[in-house]
Chains A and B, each alone.
Chain A
Amino acid sequence: MAAHGEPLWSPSSTKAGEVLKAGQDQLTVTWSYNQTFPAGTDSAYKTVKVKLCYAPVSQVDRAWRKTVDNLDKDKTCQFKVVAKPYGPSNNSFTWTVEKDIPTATYFVRAYAYNSNGDEAAFGQTTDAHKTTNLFEIQAITGRHMSLDIASVCFSAFSIVSLFGFFYMEKRKGKLAQQK
């Protein structure tokens, strides 16, 4: 796959600069063909995939989210928002942030694919340096009250049984010495 070309799209998303809660809040993405480009450039586009991508601040020191030019190895955009057939205008989609999205800062990118499934163009909700219009998502915590309580109880059992055994050992020792 070649490196990203000029963005031919102008997607935008609501909630730029906000914090969204996973599993709860919604994100609306709209996209349309950038009319400043020559007409007919978009005749090859067949499908559009909208993806959620990590902003650079969430990629720092995390090689598993790295941006590389080779699209097959690129790990910037790991979550699919929606896939739709191509249309030049009036495209929008409202997405409920999925439950397993991790806490990080994101932007949205839309890829257009031709009939071979190759990426032909893309557009993103942020600028070329990926610094503007970013938004955050807050993940659902995995902590549950029931597990917390079970952990505390079992830990207590562990410590108590240890001291119980110690005490029994001491008593046996004293008894053996008394004989």
Chain B
Amino acid sequence: MRAFHLAWLSLFSCYFSTFSIPPLLAVLRQDLNLSASDIGHAGTAAFAGSVFSRFAMGPACDLLGPRLASSALSLLTVPVVLSTAFISSAQSFVLLRFLIGFSLANFVASQFWMSSMFSGSVVGRANGVAAGWANVGAGLAQLVMPMIFSLIMSVGVSSSYAWRLAFVVPAIFQAVTALMVLAYGQDLPDGNYWSHNHPRKASSKPRENVFGVLLHGLKNYRGWILGLTYGYCFGVELTIDNIIAQYFYDRFNVDIRMAGAIAASFGLGNLVSRPLGGVLSDEMGQRFGMRGRLWSLWAVQTVAGLLCVLLGRVDSLWGSAVVMCCFSFFVQAASGLTFGVVPFISKRSLGVISGMTGSGGAVGAVVAQLLLFSGSNKFSTQTGISLMGLLMIVCTIPVGFIYFPKWGGMFCGPSKEPSSMDQDDYSLLE
């Protein structure tokens, strides 16, 4: 359990750091003379870095163990967060967000760590709760950063100094959690990788070729489909985290702390919604098998898409806030439901599939930001939000194409003779 708390807390701090910038954009854009395009590019950059870092984190965990890999990444990104004190141009702002975004790879490390420490029957819940509680970091940052900023200003400091100083808080938090992971965490129930001479590899079947495992995962079409759908639930969640505070600030003329509070309620829903998504997936899996898991994923994500379309069209402040809360519940549950299906795709290449899905989330966020919220668009933010909802609905349809010979798919039952080729892929989590 100590590993569980260390894992979600350190990932929480990474999300907190990455999303500590959006709530203060209204101040930053004046000080750094940012244009809407600059802000859009920076938002895209925040996720672009994580596409690669999430993919690379899988092998890094294999090599070093999740404890060292995740704390190394956290400690290496602390200087980046601190360098917020130095930036004074749009280019350095974009670079800053790009580099901080690397820390989001710790998601893969935390899921890997949970899978190593928890038994098969509860790993789904462990993953769901760890990821959900960590995502709350994005929401809490939206609430807390404006408060820290106002607190520093109330002492008499100018606004342009106050925001620079405010970023010391996420930096210290990230460093502390990383050091705690190093001091108190362990990779496996019986110890650490390095002190036990890689027992995980020694005790398993003959050492798999890393490339073989990688290729095996990449060839599995289900991993690609889930990467796409995760891109349009989790990716949308990341995009909303980036734009929502500014949206409420600009469209409804609320002050920076109120905008932060409203934006925070989006991310805070993760406390229950993502874990509930995982629980729903497990319940549907028990009653209806894989078909239940896939149908519930499709249904929840489609409802989330519809609510997103609605969010862009609501004209009142409180109407928007209410729709946003409902939307947050469904989109985060969809993320939890996605990782209720991921463990079943391949046992041999679980790390690769998780990495593909996780990267897909970041890619979805990058594409959504570039297409819809880059500042140089001809349409307004609210239209962009509605279009994103439509995109979500369309990109959830491929879930219907997922088919497991052993368990069936959304529209077809399991095949009568089990396919001999895929035999060892599905020997998992019975």
Do A and B originate from a single complex?
Answer: yes
- Which residues of A are at the interface with B, using a C-beta cutoff of 8 A? 60-64, 99-100, 102-104, 139-144, 147-148, 150-152, 154-155, 157-159, 161-162, 165-166, 169-170, 172-173, 176-177
Q: Are A151 and B33 in contact, with the CB atoms below 8 A?
A: no
- Among B36, B163, B192, point to the contact of A142 (Cβ < 8 A): B163
Residues of A within 8 Å of B86, CB to CB, are 143, 148, 151
Q: Are A154 and B158 in contact, with the CB atoms below 8 A?
A: no
Q: Are B158 and A61 in contact, with the CB atoms below 8 A?
A: no
Report how far A158 CA is from B82 CA in the complex, Å.
Answer: 11
B238 at the interface (CB under 8 A from A): no
- Among B33, B195, B250, point to the contact of A173 (Cβ < 8 A): B195
Closest A residue to B167 by beta carbon equals A151
- Which residues of B are at the interface with A, using a C-beta cutoff of 8 A? 26, 29-31, 33, 35-37, 68, 71-72, 75-76, 78-79, 82-83, 85-86, 88, 158-165, 168, 171-172, 175, 178-179, 182, 192, 194-197, 250, 375-376
- Among A99, A151, A158, point to the contact of B175 (Cβ < 8 A): A158
Report how far A90 CA is from B158 CA in the complex, Å.
Answer: 35
> Smallest distance from the beta carbon of B245 to chain A beta carbons, Å?
13
Report how far A85 CA is from B161 CA in the complex, Å.
Answer: 36
Q: Are B165 and A155 in contact, with the CB atoms below 8 A?
A: no
- Among A64, A100, A102, A142, point to the contact of B33 (Cβ < 8 A): A102
Q: Are A169 and B75 in contact, with the CB atoms below 8 A?
A: no
Q: Are A61 and B159 in contact, with the CB atoms below 8 A?
A: no
Report how far A134 CA is from B164 CA in the complex, Å.
Answer: 31
Q: Are B194 and A170 in contact, with the CB atoms below 8 A?
A: yes
Residues of B within 8 Å of A144, CB to CB, are 161, 164
Tell me if A's interface is mostly helix, strand, loop or mixed.
helix
Report how far A150 CA is from B172 CA in the complex, Å.
Answer: 12
Q: Could you list 28 examples of A-B contacts with CB < 8 Å?
A: A60-B35, A61-B36, A61-B376, A62-B29, A63-B36, A99-B158, A100-B158, A102-B33, A104-B33, A139-B31, A142-B31, A142-B158, A142-B161, A143-B88, A147-B164, A148-B85, A151-B82, A154-B175, A155-B78, A158-B79, A161-B179, A162-B75, A162-B178, A165-B179, A165-B182, A169-B68, A173-B195, A177-B197
Add 11 more A-B contacts to A61-B35, A151-B85, A165-B182 (CB < 8 A).
A60-B35, A62-B35, A143-B86, A151-B82, A154-B172, A154-B175, A155-B78, A165-B71, A165-B179, A172-B194, A172-B195
Residues of B within 8 Å of A170, CB to CB, are 194
Closest A residue to B26 by beta carbon equals A64
> Smallest distance from the beta carbon of A146 to chain B beta carbons, Å?
10
Report how far A147 CA is from B166 CA in the complex, Å.
Answer: 11
Q: Are B79 and A155 in contact, with the CB atoms below 8 A?
A: yes
Tell me if B's interface is mostly helix, strand, loop or mixed.
helix
Closest B residue to A158 by beta carbon equals B78
- Among A100, A150, A157, point to the contact of B168 (Cβ < 8 A): A150
Residues of B within 8 Å of A152, CB to CB, are 82
Given contacts A63-B250, A143-B164, contact A173 B179 (CB under 8 A): no
Q: Are B82 and A154 in contact, with the CB atoms below 8 A?
A: yes
Residues of A within 8 Å of B172, CB to CB, are 154
Residues of A within 8 Å of B178, CB to CB, are 162
- Among A99, A143, A161, A172, point to the contact of B75 (Cβ < 8 A): A161
Closest A residue to B197 by beta carbon equals A177
- Among A62, A143, A161, point to the contact of B36 (Cβ < 8 A): A62
Residues of B within 8 Å of A176, CB to CB, are 195-197
Closest B residue to A64 by beta carbon equals B250
Closest B residue to A73 by beta carbon equals B253
- Among A61, A102, A177, point to the contact of B375 (Cβ < 8 A): A61
Report how far A166 CA is from B82 CA in the complex, Å.
Answer: 23
> Smallest distance from the beta carbon of A71 to chain B beta carbons, Å?
14
> Smallest distance from the beta carbon of B145 to chain A beta carbons, Å?
16
Report how far A176 CA is from B33 CA in the complex, Å.
Answer: 56
Residues of A within 8 Å of B72, CB to CB, are 162, 166
Residues of B within 8 Å of A166, CB to CB, are 68, 72
> Smallest distance from the beta carbon of B174 to chain A beta carbons, Å?
9
Residues of B within 8 Å of A147, CB to CB, are 85, 161, 164-165
Residues of B within 8 Å of A102, CB to CB, are 30-31, 33
Q: Are A64 and B35 in contact, with the CB atoms below 8 A?
A: no
Q: Are B194 and A173 in contact, with the CB atoms below 8 A?
A: yes
Residues of A within 8 Å of B68, CB to CB, are 166, 169
Given contacts A139-B31, A173-B194, contact A155 B88 (CB under 8 A): no
- Residue from A99, A104, A144 whose CB has the most chain B CB atoms within 10 Å: A144
Which 10 pairs of residues, A with B, have the shortest CB-CB distance?
A: A142-B160, A155-B79, A61-B35, A102-B30, A151-B82, A162-B75, A173-B194, A158-B78, A142-B161, A151-B85
- Among A103, A155, A172, point to the contact of B82 (Cβ < 8 A): A155
Q: Are B171 and A154 in contact, with the CB atoms below 8 A?
A: yes
Residues of B within 8 Å of A141, CB to CB, are 88, 160
Residues of B within 8 Å of A103, CB to CB, are 33
Report how far A155 CA is from B37 CA in the complex, Å.
Answer: 30
> Smallest distance from the beta carbon of A141 to chain B beta carbons, Å?
6
- Among A62, A143, A169, point to the contact of B192 (Cβ < 8 A): A169
Closest B residue to A156 by beta carbon equals B79
Residues of A within 8 Å of B168, CB to CB, are 150-151, 154
Report how far A148 CA is from B37 CA in the complex, Å.
Answer: 28
- Among A64, A100, A151, point to the contact of B29 (Cβ < 8 A): A64
- Residue from A104, A151, A161, A176 whose CB has the most chain B CB atoms within 10 Å: A151
Report how far A158 CA is from B103 CA in the complex, Å.
Answer: 15
Closest B residue to A75 by beta carbon equals B250
Residues of B within 8 Å of A142, CB to CB, are 31, 158-164
